[in-house]
Amino acid sequence: MSGEQTRADRVCVAGMGKVGIPLAVQFASKGARVAGYDVDAARVTAINAGRNPLPGEPGIDQALPALVQAGSLRATANARDAADADVIVLIVPVDVDVTLRPDFAHLDAAVEALAPHVRRDALVIVETTVPVGTTRYRVAPKIMEATGMKPSSDFFAAFSPERVSSGRVLRDLATYPKVVGGIDDESTARAEAFYRRVLDADVMAVRDAETAEFSKLIETTYRDVNIALANEFARIADELHVDLREAIAAANSQPYSHIHAPGVGVGGHCIPVYPYFIAAPGTELINAARRINDDMARYGVQRLAGALGSLEGAMVVVLGLAYRANVKEPRHSSAFRLVNELAAAGATAYVHDPLFTDDEIRALGLAPPPAWPLRCDALIVQAWHDAYASLDFGAFDGLRAVLDGRGALDRRAVEAAGASYVALGA
C-alpha cells in the first residue's frame, strides 16, 4: 500500500494526556475512528462518559463529548484495542532521571504493551520527543521482537515531533507545519499522507526519522540557549543599573535580533529536559545554558535578599506553582527551586496558585499559605496567572518587597503599596 493510499480510518493514540487528548480530538474531528489508550483507568472512564479531563484546554470541552457520543472517539486501558489500528501514535512522556539521562520508562511500557497487537501493514508514529535514533533503534525493534514482523516491509515507523503548547494545542496543530520523517521512504510517505488527512496545517517531510527527531531537539535547545543569554543580560544589566526590558525592546526592533525575556527559571515538559538529549561533554554552550537557567532561582532569591537586607526569618509567598501562566502543569516548575533557595536562606516559603487546590500543592511537597491574603515580608511572581490581575498588594500586611520574576508587573502598583519592586535586569 503506497503512502498516498494510507488509511487513517482507525487510529490508536497511546497516552491520553495534555497532548494526546487534543490529538485524538483532532483526528476524530477529521473522520478517523480513534481509540485513546491510557493506563489511567479513571481518565479512560471520564473520557468514555464524555467528560473532559483537560478543562483548561480550549476547544476540548465542546468537541470531546460530541465525538464520544458519535462513536468517533473512545478511550481504553486494553492494549488489545490497538489490534485493528491502521495508525498508532505514541505520545507518552520521556523525561530525564536524577542523573539527567533520558528516562524511557513510560515510552518503553507503552510500546511493550502495544507491540504484540500491531497488525501487519500498520504505521507506528512516535510523537514523543526522544533522543536521536529512538524510533529506528528502540521502538521498531521492540515491535519486531514482539510480532516477528520486519520494519519497512511488514510494518512502518516514523517520527513526527509534537510542536504544541498546553493551553493552545488545537490552535498550534492548525498553525505549525507538521514535520515527519520515517525509517524508510515508504514510512515517510505514509506518515505524510496520514497527517495531510487529519491536520489543517502544512506537512513537512524530511529525509528520515533521525532528522525529524533532531529538528525538535534543536528547536527546543535554541529557546533554552536564548533564554540563558537573556538571563546573562539581566545580570549584566543589574550591575550596570540599566533597564533590560527597554533595551531588549530596542534591540529586537532590528529584524535579526530575537532576544527572549529573562526569568527566575525555565519549566515545563520541554525546555528543561530536551537539551539533555543532545548535550555531551563537548557541547559547552548547551550545558552552560542549562546551568545558567537552573541558577536563576538562586539569583532571584539573592536579589530579594538584597532588597530586604536578609531573608533569615522572613515569610515569603511564591505566586504560581504552574511552570507558566494560565496552565495547570507543575512539571519542572521554577517554584520548586525558589522554595528550596528560600529555605536555604532561612525564610519560610509558601506557594499560592489559583489553579491548584491546597491539597494538590501539599501533594507536591509544598506548603500553601495558611490564609489569603496574609501577613508576609515578600512575594515572588513565578507564574502571573490572569487570576492575579486584580491582586491588591496593599492587602498583604507587612509586605516589604515583591520580586517580579517574570517581568509581569507594573512597578508603580507595587511601590504604591509601600513595597520595594525587585526585578531581573530592571
Predicted confidence (pLDDT) at residue 1 exceeds the cutoff of 90: no
Q: What is the pLDDT of residues 138-148, one digit of tens each?
A: 999 999 999 99
pLDDT at 4: 45
Q: CB under 8 Å to 256, separation ≥6 — which residues?
A: none
Query: Mean pLDDT score of the chain, rounded to an integer?
Result: 95
Same domain, 347 and 408: yes
Predicted confidence (pLDDT) at residue 366 exceeds the cutoff of 90: yes
Same domain, 45 and 125: yes
Domain assignment present for 150: yes
Same domain, 107 and 161: yes
Q: What is the pLDDT of residues 228-262, one digit of tens each?
A: 999 999 999 999 999 999 999 999 999 999 999 99
Same domain, 363 and 242: yes
pLDDT at 6: 44
Q: CB under 8 Å to 406, separation ≥6 — which residues?
A: 261, 263, 264, 325, 381, 382, 383, 384
Q: What is the pLDDT of residues 84-97, one digit of tens each?
A: 999 999 999 999 99
Q: CB under 8 Å to 95, separation ≥6 — which residues?
A: 102, 103, 269, 273
Q: What is the pLDDT of residues 20-74, one digit of tens each?
A: 999 999 999 999 999 999 999 999 999 999 999 988 899 999 999 999 999 999 9
- DSSP strand E in 146-301: where? 156-159, 178-182, 203-205
Q: Rounded to two decimals, what is the model's pTM?
A: 0.92
Q: What is the pLDDT of residues 370-386, one digit of tens each?
A: 999 999 999 999 999 99
Domain count of the fold of the chain? 2
Domain assignment present for 86: yes
Helix (H) / strand (E) containing 317: strand 315-319
In the predicted model, what is the mean pLDDT of residues 276-305? 96
Same domain, 82 and 23: yes
Domain assignment present for 301: yes
Same domain, 128 and 252: no
In the predicted model, what is the mean pLDDT of residues 356-371? 98
Spatial distance between the Cα atoms of 140 and 182, rounded to a whole number of angstroms = 11
Banded pLDDT at 426 (limits 50, 70, 90): confident
Same domain, 128 and 166: yes
pLDDT at 81: 92
pLDDT at 5: 45
Same domain, 12 and 130: yes
Same domain, 161 and 235: no
Domain assignment present for 169: yes
Domain assignment present for 35: yes
Runs of H (alpha helix) within 154-202: 169-173, 185-198
Same domain, 166 and 290: no
Domain assignment present for 370: yes
Spatial distance between the Cα atoms of 288 and 292, rounded to a whole number of angstroms = 6
Predicted confidence (pLDDT) at residue 12 exceeds the cutoff of 90: yes
Predicted confidence (pLDDT) at residue 272 exceeds the cutoff of 50: yes
Domain assignment present for 2: no
- Residue range of the domain that includes 236: 216-426
Look up residue 350 and give its three cell numbers. Answer: 509558601
Q: Name the residue among 5, 67, 3 with its Cα closest to residue 36.
A: 67
Look up residue 68 and give its three cell numbers. Answer: 464520544
Final residue of a structural domain among 148, 173, 208: 208
Same domain, 149 and 240: no
Residue 162 belongs to a domain with what CATH number? 3.40.50.720
Domain assignment present for 1: no
Final residue of a structural domain among 208, 240, 256: 208
pLDDT at 63: 96
Q: What percent of the chain has pLDDT over 70?
A: 98
Same domain, 183 and 223: no
Final residue of a structural domain among 179, 208, 237: 208
Banded pLDDT at 8 (limits 50, 70, 90): very low
